[in-house]
Structure 1
Amino acid sequence: MTDHDPGAWDEAHNAPILSWHPESAPEQLPDHPVHLVVEPSEPGRLHGRMLYEPFDSGTLIVSLHGALNRGRFKVPRFEWRRTLNQVQCARLYLSDSTLEQSGSLEIGWYIGSAQQDLISEYAESVRAIARNGGYTRVMCVGSSAGGFGALALSRQIAGSAAVVFSPQTSIAGYLPSHKRALTAAAFKDRGSLNDIEAEFGERVNMRKLYKASADTNYVRFVQNTRDRFHFEAHYAPFALSLGVDPDTGGSTADGRISFHAERQEEGHAPPSRGRFLKHIDDAHQQFFGTNLTIIPAEALQGKDLGNR
């Protein structure tokens, strides 16, 4: 283990910082909240940045964030902390280090770069933390681009479940300005995103990933029917690729992936906190056979846990 600065402190998240190089990962982690930093394995690569909140439970919830208003929020970003602190289980928040390549990049989809598969590195960290903490049930959760990341991450963690809310399922199918920004920041020496998809298809297109890889994880896909762009461009193609009618929803033949089309507010927005927690709890029951313990939001009053 290499703890580069035992006195380092994350003021924004009120936690000590523990960092290490990939070849010297700690055998044990603290029993209190800690900001974990995996140093780059070589110059020019990205850090892994995680906020870990241990809890004596068999469940670890891994939260991934969506788009970031760079004028309002800073990286690292640990999203849904206030909401997930209502759940009596361990929690791990992953920051998308892709954004660190450009001060104007708002969405990175946890891609990393052409040279670095960030989501695979995070999957390795999550598996190690689950072993370290004795967590036998892992849930990857996120909305929008965070949902894309959760789909990709869960696919690399056998037995895990992803709970995603109106995510993108193909970067090539998203808005041109965000595609151009990602290409300029993360794939500088490549051509168009179509060229990138031809080379990195299973990293940038979840339909390709789920078609090409083994079904070892579970997914609960929640789609707002009033977000027509994401319904038509991302949800419907993903459901159809797995043999499910997007309008009626339902599960794949093996029951591993279920689709839930729900009427929510108009447009593309995160789910309400109550809806977010309900689907996580329902998925935990659906895939793991038990419900989570969720405490009232009022119990967290006075705690500095961020805006969401």
Structure 2
Amino acid sequence: MSKLDISQFQYPVVYCNHLKDFYRKIKNKSSSFSIKVSPVQRLDVEVTYKGTSDALVLLAGAKTKKRMKTPNFSGKLISKSIDKTTIRISDPVFYLNDDFKLGWYFGSEEFNLQKFLPVILNNIKGVLNISNYIFFGGSGGGCASLYFSSKFEGSTAIVFNPQTNIVFYPADGFKVIDKYASEAFGTTRGDLHKKIVVDLCKLYAGGNQKNKIIYMQNKTDSHSIRDCKPFVEAFGVEYPKTFFSGLISENFYLHLTDWSKGHQPPPRESLIYVLKKIVNDKVEFSEESLNSMFERAEFLGV
């Protein structure tokens, strides 16, 4: 069981005994919160408040050797580059087991985050006068961003190299999924879909979603064929055979590129530029405008 490391927070920590306690304590100011949500789990949330109607929600990917502590936040530098309110959230499932490196923000039997996080974010919207969310994350955090953005009409998911079906992996190479299913939900990989949504391709099938997606994918990443291809095909579109930048549907833009090796994130300069253009400048969601943005982003990443 992981222990809370307060050095991971930017602001003094406000401890909350339950969610209602959090709703009472959150104010229009930058704050860090650690909320007890089960006997062993805490939901750690950090708000950098800038008084804006838009807010960027930052969801982290897997723990790495450089980032092993709990809470596992991402985007500290990004939050300083964005002139909107930012909300960083750590996955509470890490408190269940020190060996957990990834949980996709999908929760556990004791605290189903797929169910509760939209409620929590709606409460934050009311207190901070937020009208629209932009979700951002890569890999597991990208998977979570796609899921939670689907719950907020008009929101945007900005993702890179995300998983789109968390059980669609060889069992011998991805034991993390079996461990997660067993310890978080007391079930098997094959029955995990009975507890939570595991397949975002089915969730988005048909392309009738009310949110927008900006999806960045490395062509050389194994997730390109395993995750991006079935997600694109769920919209009734053939997966591009080469590099591609353009609209897959009215609300889904794909940038299929090779600006990093394999599953690595885009170059930091490129990523921050993209976020600034979308979040700060509110670039038009059109093929022409987004193509122009990514042409510049590719140049910055060289």
Class of the TM-score when normalised by the shorter of the 2 chains:
0.7 to 0.9
> Match for residue 238 of structure 2?
245
Q: 1:280 aligns with which of 275, 286, 297?
A: 275
> CA 1:74–1:28 in 2, change beyond 3 Å: closer, same or farther?
closer
1:233 aligned residue: 226
The residue that corresponds to 2:34 in the other structure is 37
Change (3 A) 1:287 1:54: farther
SS of match in other structure, 1:36 = strand
Query: Cα distance 1:216–1:27, how it changes in 2: closer, same or farther (>3 A)?
Result: farther
Q: Cα–Cα, structure 1 residues 26 and 178, in superposed 2: closer, same or farther, change >3 Å?
A: closer
Match of 2:113 among 115, 118, 122: 118
What CA distance in whole angstroms lies between the structure 2 residues aligned with 1:167 and 1:282?
Answer: 21
Matching residue of 1:21: 18
Q: Quick check: 1:221–1:259 contact (8 Å CA) kept in 2?
A: yes
1:55-74 maps to which residues of 2 (within 5 A)?
55-69=50-64, 72-74=67-69
What secondary structure sits across from 2:255 in the alignment?
strand
Q: Within the alignment, does 1:269 sit opposite 2:267 as a pair?
A: no
CA contact (8 A) 2:108 2:185 kept: yes
Contact 1:59 1:137 in 2 (8 A): yes
Q: 1:63-115 CA deviation, whole Å, 9 max, x = no partner? A: 00001036852111110111231111110001011121111111111121135
Whether the 8 Å contact between 1:45 and 1:116 is mirrored in structure 2 is no
Q: Conserved in 1, the CA contact under 8 Å of 2:163 and 2:227?
A: yes
Tell me, in whole angstroms, the C-alpha distance in 2 between the residues paired with 1:10 and 1:222: 33
Identify unmatched segments of 5+ residues in structure 2.
291-302
Matched position secondary structure for 1:264: coil
Moved more, 66-75 or 108-117: 66-75
Secondary structure of 1:260 counterpart: strand
1:172 aligns with 2:140: no
Tell me if structure 2 keeps the 8 A contact 1:107–1:145. yes
Q: Per the alignment, in what secondary structure is the counterpart of residue 130 of structure 1?
A: helix
Secondary structure of 1:173's counterpart equals coil
Distance 1:252 1:267, change over 3 A: closer
| Residue of structure 1 aligned with 2:185, choices 181, 187, 191 | 187
Deviation of 1:22 (Å)? 2.5
Q: Is the 8 A contact 2:149 2:155 kept in 1?
A: yes
Q: Judging changes above 3 Å, is the alpha-carbon distance between structure 1 residues 172 and 58 closer, same or farther for their aligned structure 2 residues?
A: same
Matched residue, 1:76: 71
Q: SS of the residue aligned with 1:85?
A: helix
Deviation string for 1:101-160 (max 9, x for gaps)?
Answer: 111111111121135321332222222222222222310000000000111111112221
- Matched residues, number: 274
Residue type at the aligned position of 2:183:
A
Pick aligned residue for 1:216 from 197, 210, 222: 210
The offset of 1:32, in angstroms, is: 3.5
TM-score, with length taken from structure 2: 0.81
TM-score (norm 1): 0.80
Query: In 2, Cα distance between the equivalents of 1:70 and 1:185?
Result: 22
Q: 5 Å matches for 1:88-127? A: 88-127=83-122
Q: How far off is 1:214 after superposition?
A: 6.0
- The answer to whether the Cα contact below 8 Å between 1:70 and 1:104 also exists between their aligned partners in 2 is no
Q: Which amino acid aligns with 2:267?
A: S
State the alpha-carbon separation in 1 of the partners of residues 160 and 86 from structure 2. 18
CA-based RMSD of the aligned residues comes to 2.7
Of the candidates 244, 248, 257, which is equivalent to residue 252 of structure 2?
Answer: 257
Q: Deviations over 1:230-288 (max 9, x none)?
A: 000000100011123331453244x1122111112221112222222233244442349
Structure 1: gaps spanning 5 or more residues: 1-8, 292-308
| 279 and 120 in structure 1: CA distance in 2 versus 1, 3 angstrom threshold | farther
SS at match of 1:38: strand
